[in-house]
Structure 1
Amino acid sequence: MKFTKRAALAALFALSASAASAQTKTLDGIQNMHRTAVSPIYAGNEVKGYLMFGRGDKADRKNDNYLLDFYDQDLGKVSNVTIQKPSGRYSLISNTFNGSAFAFYFLNSKEDKLEMETYDTGLKKIGTKVIDDISKADKMMISTQMRGQETNGGMMGNGMTLFPVPGLGFVRNSYTGMAKGYAMVMYDNNLNAKWRVASDEKSKFYETLGLTEAVDKYVLGIKMQRDGLMSRKFTSTMVAIDATTGKKVFDMPVETSKTEQLSLSSFTFDPATREFVAVGEYYKLDDKPFVNKSQGFYIKRFTEAGKLIGGKNFGWQREVMAIMPNEAKPSLEDNYVNYAHSIVKGSNGKLYIVAEQFKIVGDGLGIALTALGGRGASVSKGKVGNMFVFEVDPQANLTAVKFYAKDPSNASLPEGSGFMSAGILGHIMKAQGDFDYQFMQKNDANSQFNVVYINFDKEKGEATKKVVGNIAFGDNGKYAVDKIDLTSGSTYSYVYPAKPGYVMIADYYKKKSQLGMKLVKLNI
């Protein structure tokens, strides 16, 4: 699915030489800063600018000003627009860009409504939609999402969002009942409803559907299902929806045999071969995820009709261990499993799987609270480990395992997590923003990839440093690593995709009410 207004974007970013030379930007009077305040703008795979959303000075006694500032890929300011809304009512839930339109999703807390607005690439408003039938489950999810923004500067993951579908519009997700089911509504750029996909209201199952990718003519997602509110056994299915019609053309489990027990980490579509690709880990049939170790990881390929056309297991002890670097082996023996963040196919035909280790360990505080009769406390927590890149050639041979060590970081988990499967827990941690993986950048030719992650460097006797790591690889067969120290004394620091060869770093200083943005060149 290609963007349809690349010419419009190109015209928008035609700036003077002085503006185009900007590489840093300092903004004063910023009262608060969340990760979602800045949105990269893409043309194809490459970043061509940024949109910043923030609250400005009050317009008058009854109205607040909200500001939209448009920057080019060199942080030169292009244009801006001011939105006025009644004071004390509105909070931004999410904002996104689909290649031809921007969408903003607000909570009107006073009137108990959700409101959406869309703007074209010239920042002219083109659509408005008000939703006044918010379910109790949606309200609960929004409340959790807002708390996440206040505590960690911006919750990453599915949550309550507008999912961008390039060239077509946006999908709004919601929850039905007490989160028993889900509903997805597709809107065009003018916010006219086009189709709806929802759980069967008569189903005995509890279901959620998290959208993961819009590629070619499909919107992809992973559906989680359990047979009761208190059930701790989840199953997952791969879902593909026709982006134009809303027809669910693919909804099936990744297991294709009763002798398989699999976790599903990632699901994508390869337009070149017209195949769906699934990646996860496999277990013995009588094993329990996180109690027993996985046996290895798998790759499965399916036709557009859902027929299995290829699958291969890569065992830890045989295929993987044979080519794995020695420094990676201890973590493999320490009950870590892998969450596949990205599956990409290079122009050379190779498949690259970017994964991050995690495991579940006892949470001392949660155990203590439970022992004292506390409710809602989890006795488990997540621990995030190292990065891997698995390289698979066109003949489905594992040709390289690249290992990138980083210091472990912790993740809080909901009650009962210790009884959930590996695939489910990985998705929970992903939705909460607990992984250190940030994003993957790639060029339009699919010949060069950059994986960006965060490492909280804990050197003995020194203060913890926040370091940005970048793993570069591609058709030339070479792997390179670059590290950037993010330690700046800022209240929050965020890293965003940028033009080829760069990342953009935003440092927010709460005491000074100041935001600094800068482009940092990668040494690759």
Structure 2
Amino acid sequence: MFQFKRTLLTAVVALAVAATASAQTQTLDGVKSIGRSGISPIYAGNEVKGYLMYSEADKADRKNDNYHLDFYDQDLNKVSTVVIQKPAGKYYLLDNAFNGTTFGLYFYNHKDKTMEIETYDTSLKKVASKVVGEVNRQQLMAIGMQMRSAGGEGKMPFGGLDLRPIADKGFARVNVDGEKYEVEMYDNNLQLKWRQKTDPKSKFLESIIISETTDKYMIGTVLRKGSMMSKKVDPYMVAFDLNTGKKILDQPVESSKTEQLSLSSFTYDAAKHEFVAVGEYYKPDDKPFVNKSQGFYIKRFGEDGKLVGIKPYNWQKEVKGLMPAEAQQAMEDGFMNFTHSISKGADGRMYVVSEQYRIAGKGLDVAMTLMGGGGGSKGVIGNMLVFVLDPTYKLADIKCYTKDVSKVMLPPGAGFAGAGLLGQYIKAMGGFDYQFMQRSDANSLFNVVYINYDKEKGEATKKVVGNIAFGENGKFVVDKIDGTSAATNSFVYPAKPGYVMMVDYLKKQKQLGMKLVKLNI
């Protein structure tokens, strides 16, 4: 979440004064293509104050393509726009980001096989452009998957195709090739500030997933294995100092050989200056997906990497008495929990938002999938869960929100790295129904938005946008919005307090519709 600078706020205020009514909706014609990453919410604190949209329009002429870069305020009034011309058929947008002062656009140049970044200030004046490297084989595979997917959003995990905003300072990108990784940080003028990479002396093959940036750290998970043919992948928690790039943490979540822990979420608690890991724990000889986990855990580490505390929550002891019946049945059916977000309220309570998932099949079928047998399998996505912990980390409540199951294809052997990494794979592929969490600036109200594809017998499938509001007075409120449409692609985004933004794109008509929908909270 990043703060606006005065130039952008001035433009928004001036427009709001001049407008006689809030737009609330927009219909754009001539939009040739756009994916989810083409629209980025812009934040002031925790609240959405506008959107940046990058879209491909009709051709300028035979040799050039037109692209629009538009900025909208929180009410969908257009603040400014520029038309960018690029050589025809040459560029593909991988990601865009806003860091509080500067917009960044991350491109794949498929004629020159290079990766390029462009930056723009808040008036949409171009600041800099730079070729940041040649595309490698693994990235080429990831780009191909993204371009072929509906809405251009299917991504190989560990593909390194995202551009990370660093508040007011610049942008970071990851470069991976299946054997090693590089993390690079650029300032707004695209001057390289630091680079961290796999140690040339390392005997392991390494990839990295960046999960979060704070005002101090960039944190993520490094995946290590002994050889290209090895089935065993070990996850390590990592953190880099944002100012220097120095690696200040690099260690496994397991502290002893008697622990077998999955790692589904790794975050930083700024109030306590601690790194927090969440996942499920198993008996030492258990096999994830074949044997059920014993429960979930929260493990905390200091900034020096030393263990501060670990709290296990056993399914039979601490959890069962609070677990709703629907969630208990799903657990009996082999579902695990993937943690999407961990948030601390103003009252000190911690909310762990999870989604249930498993590999389709049981017993021998799952074991064969883990060993790479068969032709791949399906991940099955289940219910939404919210675990509520009091300030002492005691489990106080569990909420379950049932959904119709959805499925995502998995490649052979996808689960061999462990339950937590399979969840990260599904997340990278866009396979979970969870969309995002919104929070108030005071951290007193949280909204979790998810999609449910409602399948009633004899009726067409409905797309339902669910919103779970909680945090104020201990109450939980659920609102459901019918998002069914005939659109080629449909997306939902965070919006100003009390709203979500829904987007429908009609490819044949080259038309994009945006609307703000009020939540019943």
**Quick check: TM above 0.5?**
yes
Whole-Å separation in 2 of the counterparts to 1:7 and 1:158:
36
Contact 1:378 1:416 in 2 (8 A): no
Whole-Å separation in 2 of the counterparts to 1:49 and 1:25:
13
- Secondary structure, in 3 states, of the residue corresponding to 1:58? coil
Contact 1:323 1:400 in 2 (8 A): yes
How far has the Cα of 1:3 moved from its partner? 4.3
Whole-Å separation in 2 of the counterparts to 1:410 and 1:86:
39
Written as runs of structure 1 = structure 2, the 5 A alignment for 1:283-302 is: 283-302=282-301
Contact 1:341 1:354 in 2 (8 A): yes
Percent sequence identity over aligned pairs:
58
Aligned to 1:421: 418
Whole-Å separation in 2 of the counterparts to 1:92 and 1:153:
9
Aligned to 2:519: 522
Aligned to 2:77: 76
User: Given the alignment of the two structures, is residue 393 of structure 1 paired with residue 390 of structure 2, yes or no?
Assistant: yes
Contact 2:3 2:43 in 1 (8 A): no
User: Given the alignment of the two structures, is residue 233 of structure 1 paired with residue 222 of structure 2, yes or no?
Assistant: no
- Secondary structure, in 3 states, of the residue corresponding to 1:423? helix
Give the superposed CA RMSD: 1.9
Selected match of 2:427 from 430, 433, 436: 430
**Range that drifts further, 446-455 or 23-32:** 23-32
Counterpart code for 1:315: N
Whole-Å separation in 2 of the counterparts to 1:347 and 1:47:
20
Aligned to 1:216: 215
Contact 2:278 2:296 in 1 (8 A): yes
Written as runs of structure 1 = structure 2, the 5 A alignment for 1:94-493 is: 94-148=95-149, 151-155=150-154, 159=159, 160-176=161-177, 179-362=178-361, 378-493=375-490
Contact 2:34 2:151 in 1 (8 A): no
**Range that drifts further, 221-230 or 57-66:** 57-66
Q: Scaled by the length of structure 2, what TM-score is found? A: 0.94
Whole-Å separation in 1 of the counterparts to 2:471 and 2:245:
35
Contact 1:388 1:402 in 2 (8 A): yes
Whole-Å separation in 1 of the counterparts to 2:326 and 2:138:
45
Contact 2:3 2:44 in 1 (8 A): no
- Secondary structure, in 3 states, of the residue corresponding to 1:12? helix
**Range that drifts further, 382-391 or 123-132:** 123-132
Whole-Å separation in 2 of the counterparts to 1:397 and 1:116:
46
Contact 1:378 1:413 in 2 (8 A): no
Whole-Å separation in 2 of the counterparts to 1:418 and 1:105:
30
How far has the Cα of 1:376 moved from its partner? 9.6
Contact 1:381 1:411 in 2 (8 A): yes
Contact 1:283 1:294 in 2 (8 A): yes
Query: In the superposition, relative to structure 1, how do residues 21 and 167 fare at CA in structure 2: closer, same or farther (>3 Å)?
Result: same
Per-residue CA deviations over 1:143-169 (Å, capped at 9, x if unaligned) read: 222223xx3442367641111111211
How far has the Cα of 1:217 moved from its partner? 0.4
Query: In the superposition, relative to structure 1, how do residues 4 and 74 fare at CA in structure 2: closer, same or farther (>3 Å)?
Result: closer
Whole-Å separation in 2 of the counterparts to 1:376 and 1:328:
30
How far has the Cα of 1:447 moved from its partner? 0.9
- Secondary structure, in 3 states, of the residue corresponding to 1:419? helix
Query: In the superposition, relative to structure 1, how do residues 186 and 463 fare at CA in structure 2: closer, same or farther (>3 Å)?
Result: same
How far has the Cα of 1:481 moved from its partner? 0.5
Aligned to 1:52: 53
Whole-Å separation in 1 of the counterparts to 2:487 and 2:273:
46
Per-residue CA deviations over 1:91-126 (Å, capped at 9, x if unaligned) read: 111111122211111111112222110011111111
Contact 1:283 1:293 in 2 (8 A): yes
How many aligned positions are there? 511
Contact 1:185 1:193 in 2 (8 A): yes
Per-residue CA deviations over 1:282-316 (Å, capped at 9, x if unaligned) read: 00001011010011100011111011111100011
How far has the Cα of 1:175 moved from its partner? 1.3
Whole-Å separation in 1 of the counterparts to 2:166 and 2:98:
9
Query: In the superposition, relative to structure 1, how do residues 82 and 19 fare at CA in structure 2: closer, same or farther (>3 Å)?
Result: farther
**Range that drifts further, 236-245 or 323-332:** 323-332
Aligned to 1:93: 94
Whole-Å separation in 2 of the counterparts to 1:310 and 1:76:
49
Query: In the superposition, relative to structure 1, how do residues 5 and 32 fare at CA in structure 2: closer, same or farther (>3 Å)?
Result: closer
- Secondary structure, in 3 states, of the residue corresponding to 2:19? helix
How far has the Cα of 1:237 moved from its partner? 1.2
Contact 1:93 1:146 in 2 (8 A): no
Whole-Å separation in 2 of the counterparts to 1:206 and 1:117:
31
- Secondary structure, in 3 states, of the residue corresponding to 1:427? helix
Whole-Å separation in 2 of the counterparts to 1:377 and 1:92:
35
Query: In the superposition, relative to structure 1, how do residues 362 and 152 fare at CA in structure 2: closer, same or farther (>3 Å)?
Result: farther
Whole-Å separation in 1 of the counterparts to 2:158 and 2:350:
26
Whole-Å separation in 2 of the counterparts to 1:377 and 1:284:
27
Per-residue CA deviations over 1:43-68 (Å, capped at 9, x if unaligned) read: 11111011111122322332222110
- Secondary structure, in 3 states, of the residue corresponding to 1:60? coil
Whole-Å separation in 1 of the counterparts to 2:96 and 2:504:
20
Query: In the superposition, relative to structure 1, how do residues 381 and 267 fare at CA in structure 2: closer, same or farther (>3 Å)?
Result: same
- Secondary structure, in 3 states, of the residue corresponding to 2:352? strand
Selected match of 2:502 from 502, 505, 514: 505
Query: In the superposition, relative to structure 1, how do residues 25 and 34 fare at CA in structure 2: closer, same or farther (>3 Å)?
Result: same
Contact 1:347 1:475 in 2 (8 A): no
Aligned to 2:19: 18
Per-residue CA deviations over 1:234-292 (Å, capped at 9, x if unaligned) read: 21111110001000001111111221000001111111111111100000001011010
Query: In the superposition, relative to structure 1, how do residues 376 and 325 fare at CA in structure 2: closer, same or farther (>3 Å)?
Result: closer
Counterpart code for 1:74: D
**Range that drifts further, 16-25 or 499-508:** 16-25
Aligned to 1:37: 38
Query: In the superposition, relative to structure 1, how do residues 378 and 206 fare at CA in structure 2: closer, same or farther (>3 Å)?
Result: farther
Whole-Å separation in 2 of the counterparts to 1:60 and 1:377:
49
- Secondary structure, in 3 states, of the residue corresponding to 2:360? strand
Whole-Å separation in 2 of the counterparts to 1:433 and 1:7:
35
Whole-Å separation in 2 of the counterparts to 1:139 and 1:292:
36
Whole-Å separation in 2 of the counterparts to 1:67 and 1:453:
29
What 5-or-longer segments of structure 2 have no aligned partner?
Answer: none
Q: Scaled by the length of structure 1, what TM-score is found? A: 0.94
Counterpart code for 1:317: Q
How far has the Cα of 1:226 moved from its partner? 1.5
Contact 2:31 2:58 in 1 (8 A): no
